[in-house]
Structure 1
Amino acid sequence: MITGGTTVNGTGVFCACYIRQSRKKANKSEASPEDQRDKTKGYSDNEGHHFVDFYEDIGKSGYDPDAERKGFDRMMNDARAGRINMIVVHYASRFSRQNVNIVLMQVLELFQLGVRIVSVNEGEFTSNNVMDLMNIIMRFEAGHNESRNKSIAVRGTFEKARERGGWLGGLAPFGFEAYKAFVDGVEIQLLRPRKDESKVIKWCWETIKRHKDDTIKQGQRHPGSLAGLVHQMHVDKVPTRGARVGGAWKDALWEVTTLNRILRDPRIAGYMAEPYGNGKKAAYRIQRNADGTPKKYGYDPILEPAEWWELQAWLDSRGRGRGLTRGESLLSALRNPEDEPVLNCACDKSMCAYYGGGTSPSPLYRCNFRNVPGHNGNNTMVQHHLDEYVARRIFARISTAEEDGDTAGFLLEATKRFARTQEAPSNARERAQLVTERHEAAQHLKECEEDYKSVKDKGPATRRAVLEEMDAAETRLKTLDDALKALAAADAPALPIQQWINSEEGNGDPMGEGSWWATATLASKRRFVTLFVDRIVVYKSAMRGNRWVQYDASKRVSITFAGEGETEEASEAA
């Protein structure tokens, strides 16, 4: 083997052996890399040529013009640098299967560089022989046509399988196994839930539901978080797919990203879906019928659609500053009906509970960001100061709301929210179905909007088709919203305002001893707050507090109450 920067000199033949196989594993349709190496180098040795190197592209298509063939590119560069003057391949199709016009440009360039091309099984092609040139063109055209016909046939087969709900991938997704079946006379692979892996998915969701509202002290692992689930599966030695199958992935361990991807898969809810995007933007797209409704597989789903959509809402709520409840705080990690954080800093980031001590011996609410637009340095507030201020503002509003005509929207929205916690099982089932369909419709509309962005430069017919689909999705979404509003208006229970504001002591303090607030659990108090409050914003204090001045939270806090969309602004804010 010749190495370094050696260039062709004299009359010697410096031979490059090009090896290509379109699949990483050999099949019956093409020679293995080992066989290609033996045959091409054997030819070079038998002819007494100087062997330069093997140039290889394993697992690379010769038909796909976008395929990155690093070995081929290196070989062409060495030819241009004068390091080789002969290329040996097993068959001409190993050199390329692309369109003849593209291949001919490459071949003519090599001929102009004085490089000869040899096929071990088809002979030598040189630039000074017209018949050789015609022969190699015919060989390349035959290879291109063969690949094109295969591609058309494969696409047709895939399309038929896709229309019948067939699985077109290799290894089935986690939770499933693939099996062969005949559908409408076509043999395809179908998916069905795999019992052992389905149990893992069900266990994950049941564990999340059981613990997602738990309050866990700072520093403890939350059993209902993805990290907590992964930890428990390691402890219980639950095998990953890689560990079960073996091979290159036999040592694979559970990771949060892997579990998140599995729980995001619409196929566990019975929806036909396909992945799209790469890296962090990778996601799933539900396949739909002409009317926009989701296509569904024939198997019983691992999770019912309503449960799966609830799981998606929970997964969407995960992220920095959006975590599960920790400690004994009233307001941290609360979310409003729009799934937005209730407790926010003036910098528009959410605030969390903090028990780290520092200059204040009391638990705090703290923004995790420093020196950002909205405040310099830290922004913190003592928990019991903010808790009491928010609770008293709520009690003040509901105590006079029935006599105040300006608060009708506030009471109406709170009543709707309260009704959802009290509604009859039949109404709850109907709501769950409508909410599921609304999730589906909203996702379809989102996909239509993404499609429209991608076809802005296309023809008017294409844009019109996407717009019509978008209009249909918007109409369906509005219909479902109207149905949900009608359900909310039916049989709405009255708010138990007197129960909340009365005190057994009779002193009129809704937060005093013997009051509902004084005896309620933390979970009940948190639910109470979310009935009436959409957003709380804490501003940085304009001055340090001291023991001689009574603390006034109203100067630093603004509250947006339910159904009003307007904020009670802080009277002073830095």
Structure 2
Amino acid sequence: MEDARARKFDVVVIYMLSRLTRQGAAEALKIQKELASYGVALVSTQEPFINTSDDNPFGVAFFALIAGLAHQESKNKSKFIRDAFEALKAKGSHSSGPVPYGFEAEAVQVEKFTVRLLKPGETSDAEIGPGSTPADNVMHIIELAESGVKENAISVLMTDKRTKTPLGSLDDDAAKARIEAAQKRRKGGPNDAAKLEWSDKVVRRILRDPRLAGFAIGPVDPKTRNRTILRDEEGQPVRPHEGFIEPKRWYDLQALLDGRKRERNMDRAGTMTFLGSWGILRCGKCKSGMTVSNVSETYVCNLRRSVGDVEKHVLRIAMEDTNKVVAARLWAKAASLDPENDEDVAILAAAAERFAVRGTDPQAAEELAEQEAQLLHVQGSMRELYQDRTDGLYEGTTGRQAFKDTIQKYQRHEAACMARIDELKAAATTATRLPMDEWFADSDDDPLSPGSLWSRWSVEDKRSFLSLFVDEVIVNPNTTRAGTSWDRINGRVEIEWAKPKPAEDDEDNESVTA
């Protein structure tokens, strides 16, 4: 255009109009009008009817027509590409972007589409370090996180072992391109280009990736910046890939990272006690779970500062005597349950359901565990979504529609999970009964006597039996010095007996209708 303004030529020769512009007739005519003002004509070698020289009166009209058609063709091609991409995405194809760390992609024909499906990459027998593969490193990171090691500690361990980062695992050209792109997105620094320097952000991104469990990924959550799970129209997760771990294990890992799941049921010293540190023993003052003081052999709640209306406090109770009191009341209750008493019927129903679920066949138990984990995950996602709306992240017509579409998918998935959980529990309960006769068979009227079933059980077995009949054991403050140690502890211990899980109250849950 600068040369045209300088009148260095009389004619611009183009191969096709689409090589000049695809922005439509208006843009094409704007260019042609400016060229004409400088006395310059347009001629197309492949479209001879496009000729705007003075001796062709129809040239401009043809020019406008072809420009409009070229623009429409461009729009059609763009729509086709978008539609194809959406179709691939709906099938969970890894359609764009680099292959995730530790994975490899394989092209697979699904119906009329060729989709890229992911699977774990090559593994080796090498120790974690410079010689380990990305797939080795991913599994090592997962196992460390599951054992309770935090992201920053994992990054330090991986760096100390000189394990290659996602950047370090690429060839030089790919690594250079990735580094340059990353530095454009954020502030540069020495670690951006480091091939052995792990960060907690990199570790967290790996652990949070739904593709670890084979899920396809949806949009990035604008608040947490975590990748979300792609869901179909019914809200069910799309799972086309081969993951490193099963979905149940991934859901548990997310709960652990969120702080909603304890990674172990042991005390801080690494021991396992009957009541301490697994959530069933609660402080009567603040309702927190009580831990163990092995030095004084007590269960303890030590609230170091006031929280709301609850003042700081230290509440202790002798471990051995508390264990005996709870065990005695547990067995006495189990022996006296009356099928004619409504409260006892509720306890029996809850215990029977819990026992049935534990004793069901492995495949059904695995499905139940996964459905329950999915339910917790989708309910957590729903709470976050409601909070995001409260925070003003879904303003305007488009935002409200996006919120509505997403929450309806979540609600459909929640309903499907709950229905399936009810089916699995009902099937298990129908086929199973509580083995009361077996539990009391060798008790000799004292289920706690030496040689009894209770005395032979491990701590884990005792916990399992307790949790059939008990929801919580509450320890209240000591209010008297009178009586024996047994009497005082018996007076302080309050047991919340098991109750069947109540049905969801629709009025307590916010809903969205079409």
TM-score category of the 2 structures, normalised to the smaller one: 0.5 to 0.7
Q: 2: distance between equivalents of 1:237 and 1:552?
A: 58
Match of 2:189 in 1: none
Q: 1:464 to 1:200 in 2, by over 3 A?
A: closer
- Select the residue among 309, 316, 319 that pairs with 1:383: 319
Query: Take 1:451 and 1:501, find their aligned partners in 2: how far apart are those partners?
Result: 56
Instruction: Say which of 477, 491, 496 aligns to 2:431.
Output: 491
- Equivalent in the alignment of 1:67: none
Quote the Cα distance in structure 2 between the aligned partners of 1:203 and 1:459.
Answer: 42
Match of 1:285 in 2: 228
Q: Aligned pairs, how many?
A: 385
Contact 2:213 2:245 in 1 (8 A): yes
**Contact map agreement 1:538 1:557 (CA 8 A) in 2:** yes
Task: Describe the shift of the 1:426–1:182 C-alpha distance in structure 2 as closer, same or farther (beyond 3 A).
Answer: closer
Instruction: Note closer, same or farther for the CA distance 1:450–1:473 as it changes in structure 2 (3 Å cut).
Output: farther
Q: Distance in 1 between matches of 2:484 and 2:400?
A: 74
Under a length normalisation based on structure 2, what TM-score does the superposition of the two structures give?
0.60
Equivalent position of 1:276 in the other structure: 220
Name the residue aligned to 2:273: 329
Q: Deviations over 1:266-321 (max 9, x none)?
A: 11111112463478x34332111222222233x322223344334445555567x8
CA distance in 2, matches of 1:477, 1:369: 40
Alpha-carbon separation, structure 2, partners of 1:186 and 1:418: 47
Question: Corresponding residue for 1:262?
Answer: 206
Instruction: Supply the AA of the counterpart residue of 2:435.
Output: L
Contact 1:431 1:487 in 2 (8 A): no
Match of 1:537 among 461, 469, 474: 474
Counterpart position of 1:194:
121
- Cα displacement (A) at 1:177: 4.1
Q: Is the 8 A contact 2:107 2:116 kept in 1?
A: yes
* Equivalent AA in structure 1 for residue 463 of structure 2: R
The answer to whether the Cα contact below 8 Å between 1:277 and 1:283 also exists between their aligned partners in 2 is yes
Match of 2:196 among 230, 247, 251: 251
Q: How does 1:292-331 map to 2 (within 5 A)?
A: 292-297=235-240, 299-316=241-258, 324-326=265-267, 327-331=271-275
Tell me the CA shift for residue 401 of structure 1: 0.7
Match of 1:554 among 470, 490, 496: 490
SS state at 1:527 partner: helix
What is the deviation of 1:187?
9.7
Q: Distance in 2 between matches of 1:468 and 1:233?
A: 41
Partner of 1:38: none
Counterpart position of 1:97: none
Tell me, yes or no, if structure 1 residue 514 matches structure 2 residue 451: yes
Kindly indicate whether the alpha-carbon contact (under 8 Å) linking 1:322 and 1:333 is maintained by their aligned counterparts in 2.
Answer: no
Task: Report the CA distance between 1:502 and its aligned residue.
Answer: 4.3
The Cα of 1:248 is off from its aligned counterpart by: 1.6
Does 2:416 align with 1:476? yes
CA distance in 2 between partners of 1:527 and 1:477 (Å): 25
Inter-partner Cα distance in structure 2 for 1:484 and 1:292: 20
Q: Which residue of 1 aligns with 2:42?
A: none
Contact kept in structure 1, 2:159 and 2:197, CA below 8 Å: no
Residues 449, 470 of structure 1: 8 Å contact kept = no
The CA deviation at 1:407 is 0.6
2:418 & 2:466 partners in 1: Cα distance? 29
Larger relative contact order (Cα-Cα within 8 Å, sequence gap ≥ 6): 2
* SS state at 1:380 partner: strand
Determine whether 1:343 maps to 2:288.
no
Matched residue of 2:207: which SS? Answer: helix
Structure 1: runs of 5+ lacking an equivalent: 1-149, 213-223, 335-340, 567-574
1 CA distance for matches of 2:440 and 2:203? 42
Change (3 A) 1:176 1:225: same
Query: Is the aligned partner of 1:174 residue 2:110?
Result: no
**Structure 2: distance between partners of 1:423 and 1:186:** 40
- Please give the per-residue CA displacement for 1:301-347, whole angstroms capped at 9, x wherever unaligned: 2223344334445555567x87541323212232xxxxxx3222221
Contact kept? 2:394, 2:400, Cα under 8 Å: no
Q: Provide closer, same or farther for how the CA distance between residues 480 and 496 of structure 1 changes in structure 2, counting only shifts above 3 A.
A: same
User: Secondary structure of the residue that 2:464 maps to in structure 1?
Assistant: helix
Residues 1:344 and 1:501: Cα distance change in structure 2 (over 3 Å): farther
User: Could you tell me whether the CA contact under 8 Å between 1:175 and 1:268 is conserved in 2?
Assistant: no
Cα distance in 1 for partners of 2:282, 2:83 equals: 50
Match of 1:221 in 2: none
Q: Distance in 1 between matches of 2:302 and 2:215?
A: 40
Matched position secondary structure for 2:448 = coil
Shift of 1:513: 1.4
Instruction: Output the CA distance in 2 between the equivalents of 1:499 and 1:331.
Output: 21
**Aligned: 1:225 with 2:148:** yes
Given that 1:438 and 1:480 are in contact with CA atoms closer than 8 Å, whether structure 2 keeps it comes out as: no
**Aligned equivalents of 1:380, 1:278: Cα separation in 2:** 45
Shift of 1:173: 3.2
Identity between Structure 1 and Structure 2 (%): 22
Is the partner of 2:313 in helix, strand or coil?
coil
Change (3 A) 1:308 1:243: same
Matched, 1:425 2:425: no
Residue 438 of structure 1, CA deviation: 4.5
Shift of 1:265: 1.9
Which residues of structure 2 form unaligned runs of 5+? 1-73, 123-132, 176-191, 503-514
2:299 counterpart of 1:364: yes
Q: Which amino acid aligns with 1:225?
A: G
Provide the rounded CA distance (Å) in 1 between the counterparts of 2:432 and 2:400.
48
The 8 Å contact of residues 451 and 466 in structure 1, kept in 2 or not, is answered as no
Equivalent residue, structure 1, for 2:329: 393
For the 8 Å contact 1:437–1:480, the answer to whether it is kept is no
Q: Is the 8 A contact 2:291 2:301 kept in 1?
A: yes
- Paired AA for residue 308 in structure 1: W
CA change 1:490–1:315 in 2 (3 A) is farther
| Contact 2:339–2:345 under 8 Å retained in 1 | no
